[in-house]
A and B are shown apart, each in its own frame.
Chain A
Amino acid sequence: MTTSPPIVVQARGVSKRFVVRKDNSIKERLVTFGRLGRRHRKEFWALRDVDLTITAGSTIGLIGHNGSGKSTLLKVIGGIIDPTDGDVSRRGRIAALLELGAGFHPDLTGRENVFLNASILGLSRIETQDRLPDILAFAGIGDFIDTQVKFYSSGMYVRLAFAVAVHTDPDLLLVDEVLAVGDEAFQRKCLDKIRSFQQEGRTIILVSHSLGQVTEMCDRAVLLNKGEVVYDGEPAEAVAQFRNILENRRLDDVAKTPDKEPEPGGHIESAVASPVEGRPGDPVPPGSDLRIRIQLSNDADMPDWVCAIQLDNGLGQIVYGTTTKRLDVALSPFTGTRVVEYILRDVHFGTGKYFVNVSLMDRFGRHLHDLPQACSFDVPDYPLAVGTVHARPEFADLGD
């Protein structure tokens, strides 16, 4: 007989309405009392009818754009705010890492704060005493432990706070964007700690904008959009859908912003990316040749010019870039329209969506016109590796 893991959190039909009031003093309330007052209220639903069942031992990523309700959902799960409708049942000890050092008092010493914060997170004095050496070792702040917290550097502050939080032995750990702190070594330590939590079979719910982190660490991802669950399942699929939502929003934004009166001079009209043997929109598998065709126009004098491209990954990190200056191509002056083309031979990008930025510059590198995210292309899923570079992995065990 197989026993399914126990349910740690069960949310049923959870909705949360926020009312934003513009009047906040007695006087204003009295003046705008009753029906008039309703005009001063704006309400919106941060969460709408969310059902979520979380079983013990899973690691779940909550993703969605800003304002999609991720943090609200996390707070509802943690019991920090009550839902307007529906209910949440939870079991076990919860540690919410919504903000590191939330309970720290600047005037108390690090040691005093450790005890206070640990007790806020549900540890008894004796338990804290036992774990103190571990906490201190993890935080690595040495003799500063007996200094008032207000004299700490922000890094020390966060390290101590994280050290306390992860040593409280929670059954359910709620993490909200806090992993983006500290130096790299400390971040690695944090991630290692979270991995060991996973190994110990604890449940982790994690809100992150780092989609890479989500696909890497979570075994399930929940995609929220405007307070509703859009997708719940495989992290890779959730991330892909999320990228589509982001792309659609971006296109919406572009469509909404009115076209500015074009200044005279060179302009990038459009750009299209496709594999050489394909049509625009086709995926670009590793090893293929990528064609980027750019439409330019010019209605003024432009004696010499440089055309540059830059590829960004979904997180906005630069992946690749080149210019006609680097290629030592002298471009002849033109007026009217012109079509130019880059062909990138034998590209090996990792899985994900990539954006093409195009710039038109003069000889001195001054930007005449930029078209950020002029077009995009996708690289199909490659199960053997992650990252922005594609390489076929092979492994051999060479023994002694």
Chain B
Amino acid sequence: MVGTTTYSKSLSGAWRSLKDIHAHREMLGLLVRRDLKARYKDSALGFVWTLIRPLTQLAIYYVVIGKFLSAERGIPDFAVYIFTGLSAYSLFSEIVGGSTASIVGNAGLIKKVYLPREVFPLASVGSALFNFGIQLVILLAATIAVGQPPLTIEILYAIPSLLVILAFGTALGLLLSAANVYLRDIQYLVEVMLLIMLWASPVVYSWEMVKNFAGDGLLLEIYTNNPMTLAVLGFQRAFWVGGHDAVAYPEDLLLRLVIAFAVGVVLLFGFQRVFARLQGNFAQEL
């Protein structure tokens, strides 16, 4: 009895939060625009800066890892491969990193005005998505430039991959943004975790290399079922046409993505409840 009432109560709580956010969607849009506009205001290059970082990363990885360490062997169109993974990874890292800082960064507002506080992490998700969109355009241009445009049915892999990143990123973002209010160490911890995530997913090397190293065991399963790995692999299936027959992919990638998404949604629900519980004291803790 008790179990069902708390269950339905938290369900209706989540529904209420959702409605509240929906009512503020216009403001959410404005907050996203504020973040984007304010970030590069007064800089001469403006939005170009959002591209310079991933492009530099791309160049470094391509030269150092691809050429010097010869990781590009067996990976055709290595630059496209890296940029695909990097786009997926930077979406995730921007969502998590941006959300974590969002509540503390908007302290002035939170202390003085009532708003559904979820809008601040969500605004970070929005601006991360915008940057991801720009990177995607460049990625598509690059695939056309190398003569391998992603015009296969496999492009549909992009959808579940994107959903997995969004679900996990938003869920973690909500949790960490709330936790960061109480313990500012979180934001430094997140930076470290994100660095680990970059190397724990097949962005600059191939999944096959991990398989060859770890063998078909529990270790490989753990590595593969990391949602970031799945999403990166999914993106590679979608946009990196040159490598479709050249490298191995884990079996049932689509199924794994769907399961990961389902897990992500459950986490999103759970962490939203945690967020709702913690947000009552935001104004006094900030």
List the interface of chain A (C-beta within 8 A of B): 18, 24-26, 29, 75, 78-82, 94, 96, 98-99, 102-103, 105, 107-108, 112, 115-116, 119-121, 124-125, 148
Asked if A80 contacts B114 (CB within 8 A), the reply is: yes
A115 CA to B27 CA, complexed, in Å: 9
Asked if B114 contacts A94 (CB within 8 A), the reply is: yes
Q: Which B residues from 5 to 41 make CB contacts under 8 A with A?
A: 24, 26-27, 30-31, 34, 37-38, 41
A278 CA to B195 CA, complexed, in Å: 82
Shortest beta-carbon distance from B151 to chain A in Å: 38
Asked if A107 contacts B27 (CB within 8 A), the reply is: no
Number of interface residues of B (CB under 8 A): 25
A42 CA to B182 CA, complexed, in Å: 16
List of A residues within 8 angstroms of B280 by Cβ: 81-82
Asked if B113 contacts A80 (CB within 8 A), the reply is: yes
B194 adjacent to chain A (CB < 8 Å): no
B209 adjacent to chain A (CB < 8 Å): no
| 20 additional contacts (CB under 8 A) given A80-B112, A80-B113, A102-B108 | A18-B284, A25-B185, A26-B183, A78-B113, A79-B114, A80-B110, A82-B280, A94-B114, A96-B112, A98-B113, A99-B108, A99-B112, A102-B109, A102-B113, A105-B34, A116-B31, A119-B24, A120-B115, A121-B113, A148-B41
Asked if B26 contacts A107 (CB within 8 A), the reply is: no
Shortest beta-carbon distance from B116 to chain A in Å: 10
> Provided the pairs A107-B37, A116-B31, A125-B26 are in contact, do residues A78 and B114 lie with their beta carbons within 8 angstroms?
yes
Residue of A at shortest CB range from B42? A107
A205 CA to B115 CA, complexed, in Å: 19
Asked if A102 contacts B112 (CB within 8 A), the reply is: yes
Count how many pairs of residues, one from A and one from B, have CB atoms less than 8 Å apart in the complex.
73
> Provided the pairs A102-B108, A120-B115 are in contact, do residues A112 and B183 lie with their beta carbons within 8 angstroms?
no
Shortest beta-carbon distance from B231 to chain A in Å: 30
Shortest beta-carbon distance from A279 to chain B in Å: 49
B184 adjacent to chain A (CB < 8 Å): yes
A selection of 26 A-B contacts at a CB cut-off of 8 Å is A18-B284, A24-B184, A75-B283, A78-B114, A80-B113, A80-B283, A81-B280, A81-B281, A82-B281, A96-B113, A96-B114, A98-B111, A99-B112, A102-B108, A102-B111, A103-B109, A103-B113, A105-B34, A108-B37, A108-B38, A116-B27, A116-B30, A116-B31, A119-B24, A120-B27, A124-B26
Shortest beta-carbon distance from A389 to chain B in Å: 38
Most buried by A among B110, B115, B184: B115
A102 CA to B114 CA, complexed, in Å: 11
> Provided the pairs A102-B108, A105-B34, A108-B37 are in contact, do residues A26 and B185 lie with their beta carbons within 8 angstroms?
yes
Asked if A119 contacts B114 (CB within 8 A), the reply is: no
List of A residues within 8 angstroms of B108 by Cβ: 99, 102-103
List of B residues within 8 angstroms of A29 by Cβ: 183
Asked if B284 contacts A81 (CB within 8 A), the reply is: yes
Asked if A119 contacts B27 (CB within 8 A), the reply is: yes
Shortest beta-carbon distance from B127 to chain A in Å: 13
> Provided the pairs A81-B280, A107-B41 are in contact, do residues A119 and B30 lie with their beta carbons within 8 angstroms?
yes
Most buried by A among B31, B37, B113, B183: B113
Shortest beta-carbon distance from A385 to chain B in Å: 37
A103 CA to B108 CA, complexed, in Å: 7
Would you call the interface of chain A mostly helix, strand, loop, or mixed?
Answer: loop
Asked if B113 contacts A120 (CB within 8 A), the reply is: yes
List of B residues within 8 angstroms of A99 by Cβ: 108, 111-112
List of B residues within 8 angstroms of A75 by Cβ: 283
List the interface of chain B (C-beta within 8 A of A): 24, 26-27, 30-31, 34, 37-38, 41-42, 108-115, 183-185, 280-281, 283-284
Which of A79, A80, A116 is close to B34, meaning CB atoms less than 8 Å apart?
A116
A346 CA to B112 CA, complexed, in Å: 50
Shortest beta-carbon distance from B171 to chain A in Å: 22
Which of A25, A78, A98, A115 is close to B30, meaning CB atoms less than 8 Å apart?
A115
Which of B37, B110, B111, B281 is close to A112, meaning CB atoms less than 8 Å apart?
B37
Shortest beta-carbon distance from A207 to chain B in Å: 13
Residue of A at shortest CB range from B37? A108
List of A residues within 8 angstroms of B110 by Cβ: 80
Asked if A81 contacts B37 (CB within 8 A), the reply is: no
List of B residues within 8 angstroms of A108 by Cβ: 34, 37-38, 41
List of A residues within 8 angstroms of B183 by Cβ: 24-26, 29
A103 CA to B42 CA, complexed, in Å: 20
Residue of A at shortest CB range from B282? A81
Asked if A119 contacts B284 (CB within 8 A), the reply is: no
Which of B26, B115, B283 is close to A81, meaning CB atoms less than 8 Å apart?
B283
A289 CA to B41 CA, complexed, in Å: 68
A124 CA to B29 CA, complexed, in Å: 12
Asked if B112 contacts A105 (CB within 8 A), the reply is: no
Asked if A105 contacts B38 (CB within 8 A), the reply is: yes
List of B residues within 8 angstroms of A18 by Cβ: 284
List of B residues within 8 angstroms of A115 by Cβ: 30
> Provided the pairs A18-B284, A81-B283 are in contact, do residues A112 and B113 lie with their beta carbons within 8 angstroms?
no
List of B residues within 8 angstroms of A78 by Cβ: 113-114
A119 CA to B176 CA, complexed, in Å: 26
Shortest beta-carbon distance from A26 to chain B in Å: 5
Residue of B at shortest CB range from A78? B114
Residue of B at shortest CB range from A98? B112
List of A residues within 8 angstroms of B281 by Cβ: 81-82
Shortest beta-carbon distance from B117 to chain A in Å: 10
List of A residues within 8 angstroms of B114 by Cβ: 78-80, 94, 96
Asked if A80 contacts B185 (CB within 8 A), the reply is: no
A263 CA to B114 CA, complexed, in Å: 56
